[in-house]
Amino acid sequence: MRFAVNYSTKLAGLVKAGKVDCDLFKCPEWEGLLREALEVKPAYLHLDITLGMGQLDTLDFDRLRALLEATSTPHVNCHLGALPGLRPYSRADRKKLVKLWIKELEILKRRFAGYPIISENLPFDLASPELYLPSEPDLISKAIIETDTGLLLDISHARITANTLNMDYQRYIEQLPLDRLREVHITGLRRYHGFLEDHFEMQSEDWEPVEWAARQIRAGAWREPEIVAFEYGGVGEWFSWRTETWALEEQVPRLFNLFGSKSLG
């Protein structure tokens, strides 16, 4: 198990100064950013692939494979999504979505032969009604099990979905195929424009779910993932405004102690 953090120039500066450490940087599929990150630390890719939306026809598989081979990426990730218009309680639409996911997962398996494929749960809230079906644990499990692929558990996404459904987040997570866990994502949550949003620094209430996950991994209740990533900070308009040096200095060491390469030793 290795601990990763979203790459940012602030994080890189702290690592070079010896103020914080991690096993890996987590990077988007941007060549320039990736080269910059690899000068400081090993890095792995998080790809922008979403199933259920007809996106695979637009992917440059050769380019993505070249980037994968240049990094420490152990698997190929995708997100389980859907186009608007599917009816939440329609048996036909449920079958249609799972069938499409399975078809596209099989395509990824062929095009990225040699790399395990892992699927990430997306967050369902009232602003994204099209994600109701993609967030259902039984549909996620069916697609993953039938294609013999892996799970990328985003704990913050699961907490947002559970909050929307007014259910306990642990009960929601425990319905997912945790015996196929390959990667875990963690962030802090905060109310933003009226909705619960992720990719913030850890708040006091965010530590309990993260520590619970660490206990589940240590107890063997979940498969030990290859990577646990703190998706805080980054570059670009979406992430740079919420990348605080103080949060990296305080929170990265605590998380590295929980999930880093030496944490289970």
**What torsion, rounded to 10 degrees, do the Cα atoms 39, 37, 207, 152 define?**
-120
Quick one: tokens of 259?
């999930």
Split at pLDDT 50, 70, 90, the class of 238 is: low
Of the two residues 258 and 262, the one the predictor is more confident about is 258
Three-state secondary-structure class, residue 94: helix
Three-state secondary-structure class, residue 27: strand
CA pair distance 228, 203, nearest whole angstrom: 18
Spatial CB neighbours of 30, under 8 Å, sequence gap ≥ 6: none
Q: What is the CA radius of gyration of the chain?
A: 18
**% of residues, the chain, pLDDT over 70:** 97
* pLDDT tens-digit readout, 93-142: 999 999 999 999 999 999 999 999 999 999 999 888 999 999 999 999 99
pTM over 0.85: yes
Domain ranges of the chain: 2-259
What's residue 197's pLDDT? 86
Cα of first residue to Cα of last residue in the chain, in angstroms, is 10
- Assigned fold of 2-259: TIM Barrel (3.20.20)
* CA nearest neighbour of 253 among 209, 212, 202: 202
What's residue 235's pLDDT? 82
Q: What Cα–Cα distance (Å) separates residue 15 from each residue in 109, 217, 247, 250? A: 35, 27, 14, 13
* Helices and strands in the chain, H and E counts: 9, 11
* pLDDT tens-digit readout, 11-28: 999 999 999 999 999 999
What's residue 263's pLDDT? 61
